[in-house]
Amino acid sequence: MDDAKAPRGIQSIEVGGQLLLALAHHGRPMALKDLARDAGMTPAKAHPYLVSFIKLGLVEQDGGSGPYGLGPLALQLGLISLQQYDPVRLATPVIEDLALQLGHTVAIAVWGTRGPTIVRVAEGPTPVHVSMRHGTVMSLSGTASGRLFACWRAAEAVSLGERLPDEATTAAVREAGLATSRDGVVAGVSAAAAPVFDAAGRLVLALTAIGPSASFDTALDGAPVAALRDAAALLSRRLGH
């Protein structure tokens, strides 16, 4: 479309949006001078935009005088965007069925800006005393879903600067084609996670079941692992893998 025929926007929003793009690109809080430079403006010009963004919740400032980072509204919008991702919509009824079948809580985790992030949860009848809510970011080394992403999204996992699973764990995950965790992050809680791949062979989400260690079978031929593996394989095929 010619510029003359393009819909007219609000230039100040487009200019200020460069600050949000810079924060999203770097994925970490930034000092005013660095943020302004990356957005192509002076600190004096950037500051009023940031004040407005803070009022909206798109940006937050550490301690009121420190570096600027993405705010709660920006994170909420990011989670909503992840939830609208087609593979997630496809997998949502699957985890509902799995939760009923297994009697355990089953969740969908995708790769977010801070790592493996829970975006859907189907509660099981057995209570689990561990955080498993929308927006929960999973440990790369201590959780089953985190180990999947550390294995099949290695470059992005390394960029987070967090502790990664050791080579033996990664090799075991690849050999089994899924990951398990017993009494990992929380004592008495176990989990299993199976990968879902798209047509390009890229890991797009993890199906994760979690439950009390006393009643959760993490054996590779156990019911939770078998059900997750079958469901993940079916979803992968539906996505063209």
Residues 216 and 103: beta-carbon distance below 8 Å: no
87 and 66 part of one domain: no
- Look at residue 1 in the predicted model and tell me its pLDDT: 47
> If DSSP codes are grouped into helix, strand and coil, which group holds residue 234?
helix
- Look at residue 185 in the predicted model and tell me its pLDDT: 73
> If DSSP codes are grouped into helix, strand and coil, which group holds residue 195?
strand
The tally of domains found in the chain comes to: 2
What's the CA angle centered on 172, arms 167 and 178, to 5 degrees?
125
- For residue 44, the tally of other CB atoms under 10 A from its CB is 9
Per-residue tens of pLDDT for the chain, all 241 residues: 445 566 778 888 999 899 999 998 887 899 999 999 999 999 999 999 999 999 999 999 988 788 999 999 988 887 777 666 689 989 999 999 999 999 999 999 999 888 999 999 998 776 666 666 778 889 999 899 999 999 999 999 998 888 899 999 999 999 999 999 988 777 788 999 999 998 889 999 999 999 888 889 999 999 899 999 999 999 999 888 8
- Report in angstroms the alpha-carbon separations of 98 from 111, 181, 188, 226: 21, 18, 21, 11
Q: How is 132-156 classified by DSSP, letter by letter? A: --TTPBPPTTTSHHHHHHHHHSHHH
Chain CA centroid to CA 9, Å: 32
93 and 44 part of one domain: no
- Look at residue 52 in the predicted model and tell me its pLDDT: 94
Does residue 96 lie within any of the structural domains? yes
- Look at residue 114 in the predicted model and tell me its pLDDT: 86
What's the CA angle centered on 25, arms 22 and 28, to 5 degrees?
85
Predicted structure pTM score: 0.68
Q: Nearest CA to 98 among 238, 227, 212, 196?
A: 227
In angstroms, the CA 24 to CA 74 distance is 10
89 and 66 part of one domain: no
178 and 106 part of one domain: yes
Which domain, by its residues, includes 22?
11-70
- Look at residue 4 in the predicted model and tell me its pLDDT: 56
